[in-house]
Structure 1
Amino acid sequence: MDLALWCVLAAGLVTGFSKFSVGGMGLLILPLLMIAMPGPEALGVIVPMYIATDLMAIVMYRREIAWKVLAGLLPPALAGVVLGSWLLSELDASAFTPLLGALILGMLGLGLWLDHRPTALMRHPLAARLTGLVAGFISMIANAAGPLFSLYLLEQRLSKNAYVSTRAWGFMLINLAKLPMLASLGLISSESLQLSLWGLPALATGAAVGYWLLRRLNLAQFKWLIRIMASIAALKLFAFG
C-alpha cells in the first residue's frame, strides 16, 4: 500500500470520527493528506469525502434546521467560495502550503479566544454576511472554517438539535458548492475521486467509533490534544512547507 493511500485512509478515519464525536479535528485532515499530496491537489480528494460525511450527518440530524439562519449565511459563503477559488487559481504549491498553515493557526487562535471571551458581536445584523464570506473563503482554501461557523451558530441561541442540524446542512451545501470550483481548477479528476472512494470505509469506521465514544470521552482533555496536534501540523506547514 503506497503512502497516498495510507494518508487517505487516515484522513477518512479522522473525518468520520470528527463529524460524529467532539468535532474540531477538521484542522488535522488536510495536513494529513498533504504528507503524500503537497499542494492544493489534496483538496480534490478530501472534499468528496467531506460531502459523504455531511450526507451521513444530515440523515441523522435532519430536524429543527434553522433555515432562516442558513439563508443569511449561505449567499455570502458562496461568494467566499468563489473568492477562494480565484485565489487558488493564482497560487502555486509553494505558496499554498504556508498559507494553509497560517489559516489553521488563525482558526486555532479563534478557538482559544472563544473559550474565554464569548461575544455578542455575532448577533449584529452584518455578522451573517461577514461570517459567511470569511467561512466560505477559508473552507475553500483550507477546509478549516469549522470554528468560525460554529461561533456564529452558537451565538444565535439555537437549541442543541437545531445547532447540530443547521451546522450539518450548512457545511454540506458549502462543500457541494466547492465541487464545480475544484473541478474547474483541475483539482478533481478520476484519480482523485478514486482515492476519495478508497477513504470511504475508513470514514464509516471513524464515524461509528466517534459516535460510540462521544459519551465516554473527557472532552476538555481531548480538545486540547486536538489543538496540540493541529498546532504542530500547522507550524510544520507554515515554517517548513
Structure 2
Amino acid sequence: MQILELPPFAWALLGFAAVLIGLSKTALPGVNTLSIAIFAAFLPPKESTAALLLLLIVGDIFALISYRRHADWKTLIKLIPAVAGGLGVGALFLAFADDTWVRRAIAVILLALVLYAVWQRIRTHKNPTKPRQQTEGSAIARAGYGSLGGFTTMVANAGGAPMSLYFLSAGFPVKAFLGTAAWFFAIINLVKVPIMASLGLFIPEVLSLALLTVPGVVVGAILGRWIASRIQQRSFEYAILLFTALGAIYLFF
C-alpha cells in the first residue's frame, strides 16, 4: 500500500469518512458503517479495519467526555458473555475467512435486524406503554444482539449497527443511548487492539493514515455534540434505522 500516494479525491473521501466516525460517536450511532465502505475502497479489507479501529478509539474518547455519566451499566454487564463469544468467533473469521462473503453475510443480517426493528415499532405503536424491560431483560435478545455485535465489530468494525438496534429496542432516551454505547465501544475497541496487533495489522501505512485523518474525527465529534443537544427522540431513532440500512447495503456491494 502506498497510502501517501493516494489521489486527492481519495483523501477527501477518507476525510469525510473520519468526520462520520466522530459524528457516529457523539450523535448518530451506526452512521460510521458508511466509513467502513469508504476505507475498504482504498485499503485492503483487514488493514482498513485496523485503521478504522484507531480512529474509532479517538471517537470513543470524545463520546466518553460527552456522555460518560449517562450509561446503563446493568445493561452493559449483562451483555459481556454474548459479546465476548462474538469477539472470539470474529477473531477466527478475521484470521481465516474470505472478507467478501463475510461482509455480505453481515450486510444481510443487519438488513434483517432493521426490518425486525421496524416491524417491532409498528407492532408496539398501539401499545406505547410497553416496558423497556421486555426487550432489555430478554436473554435471547442479549445473546443475539450481543454476539452479533461482538462478531461484526471484530470482523468489520460494524458493531455499531446491531448494538444500536439493541439499545434502540431497549427504549433508551438519546443521552442514555449514547452514554451506554460510548462505554460499550470504548471497552470493546480497546480489547480489539492486542488482537489486531497479534495479526500484524498495525503496519506503518495504517498508522500514518490514521494519524492524518484524526482531525476529521475531531470535527465530526464536535458537530455531533451540537446535533445531539437538538435532535428529537423520534428523529434520532429513525436516523439510526436509516443509516444502519444504508450501511448494510454498502457492505453488501
TM interval, shorter chain, is: 0.7 to 0.9
Q: Is the Cα–Cα contact under 8 Å of residues 117 and 169 in structure 2 kept in the other structure?
A: no
Q: Residues 80 and 135 of structure 1 are in contact (CA less than 8 Å); yes or no, is this contact kept in structure 2?
A: yes
Change beyond 3 A, Cα 1:221–1:75: closer
Q: Tell me the residue number matched to 1:187.
A: 201
User: Which AA in structure 2 matches 1:141?
Assistant: V
Task: Tell me which residue corresponds to 2:85.
Answer: 79
Q: 1:176 aligns with which of 168, 187, 190?
A: 190
Contact 1:72 1:129 survives alignment (8 Å)? no
The farther-off stretch of 213-222 and 165-174 is: 213-222
- Alpha-carbon distance between aligned partners in 1 of 2:215 and 2:39, rounded to the nearest angstrom: 16
Paired with 2:85 and 2:231, the residues of 1 have a C-alpha distance of 40
2:247 corresponds, among 206, 216, 230, to 230
- Secondary structure of the structure 2 residue equivalent to 1:34: helix
TM-score of the two chains, using structure 2 as the length reference = 0.79
CA distance in 2, matches of 1:191, 1:65: 35
Q: In the alignment, which residue of structure 2 is the partner of 1:10?
A: 16
Q: Bigger shift: 156-165 or 202-211?
A: 156-165
Moved over 6 A (4+): none
State the shift of 1:135 in Å.
1.2
1:122 Cα deviation from its structure 2 partner: 4.7
Q: Give me the whole-angstrom Cα distance separating, in 2, the residues matched to 1:23 and 1:138.
A: 14
Determine if the alignment matches structure 1 residue 23 to structure 2 residue 29. yes
Alignment of 1:91-240 (within 5 A): 91=97, 95-118=98-121, 120-158=134-172, 160-214=174-228, 215=230, 226=243, 229-230=246-247, 232-236=249-253
Q: How many residues were matched structurally?
A: 233
* Change in 2 beyond 3 A, CA 1:211/1:108: farther
Q: Which residue of 2 aligns with 1:61?
A: 67
Runs of 5+ unmatched residues, structure 1: 237-241
Structure 1 vs Structure 2 CA RMSD: 2.8
1:90 aligns with 2:96: yes
Which residue is 1:239 aligned to?
none
C-alpha distance in structure 2 between counterparts of 1:230 and 1:154, whole Å: 17
Mark the runs of 5 or more structure 2 residues left unpaired by the alignment: 125-133
Matched, 1:43 2:46: no
Q: 1:58 to 1:23 in 2, by over 3 A?
A: same
Shift of 1:196: 0.9
Write the deviation string for residues 6-58 of structure 1: whole angstroms up to 9, x where unpaired: 44322211111222233331221111001111321111100011011011101
Query: 8 Å contact 1:28–1:233 — kept in the other structure?
Result: yes
d(CA) in 1 for partners of 2:188 and 2:31?
A: 18
The TM-score, its normalising length taken from structure 1, stands at 0.82
CA distance in 1, matches of 2:241, 2:217: 23
8 A contact 1:27–1:104 mirrored in 2: no
> Residues of 1 paired with 2:245 and 2:149: CA distance?
23
Contact 1:104 1:142 (8 Å CA) reproduced: no
Alpha-carbon distance between aligned partners in 1 of 2:215 and 2:250, rounded to the nearest angstrom: 25
